[in-house]
Amino acid sequence: MPRDLIAARTDLALLNARFAGRPSEAALAHALSGELGPVAMVSSFGAESAVLLHMVAQADPATPILFIDTLMLFPETLAYQRDLAARLGLRDIRVIQPDRRDLFAEDADALLHRSRPDACCALRKTRPLDRALAGFDGWITGRKRFQGGARADLDLFEGDPASGRIKVNPLAGWDARALAGYIDRHALPRHPLVARGYPSIGCAPCTGPAAPGEDSRAGRWRGQDKTECGIHVVNGRVARRLAS
């Protein structure tokens, strides 16, 4: 979709003002109403994913859910994805994997993450997601401001200037306490690695536990100048919003 079409369809500043202070379910309902065009949810089925997945299941269990299996995920994540999707009654889970020919050509020994982690993320996550989002005008993410770094000034509605798609972040203003409270109220199962000190969970080779008091994403790419996998990065910069 050309960049100018997204601005013609909606004024992101007005959308953010309209839903500021309202329950997250309101922004989510708007995203799923069809007014933004076809929309999918992208979920890692990670440490806090149950909250937004539960909201989506309550609103429309037929919402397409894109789950990127990089082929380097923890076995616990794969099992959690299957179990949680079944428990919530989500009816359109789309498991996305990297192209096998690309893997053979670019990472045959599965060691690319050691020398070029950005290239590994592009190969295993960004490019597969780009292909999976074809046909969608927007996508729902589980990012939150409290996760820090590039996410600290996250809007509810933002634009991706490269693709012209709208990204919706219903949980942008939530903190860890609110997430834990929601999980407890709805008796949602937690990712099994959370109990082992993993507050943020990605690929196994690049994810470790975080110490008490550390940023929730401190265990991701520890010791490297990298904080994002790349799916929210455009031309080397984190994509936050599109001027309207």
Active-site annotation, residues: 229
Q: Are strands 157-159 and 93-96 parallel, antiparallel or unpaired?
A: unpaired
Contacts of 82 by beta carbon, 8 Å cutoff, 6+ apart: none
Distance CA 169, CA 151 (A): 11
Instruction: Give me the phi and psi of 150, to 5 degrees please.
Output: -70, -10
Distance CA 143, CA 177 (A): 15
Distance CA 174, CA 39 (A): 22
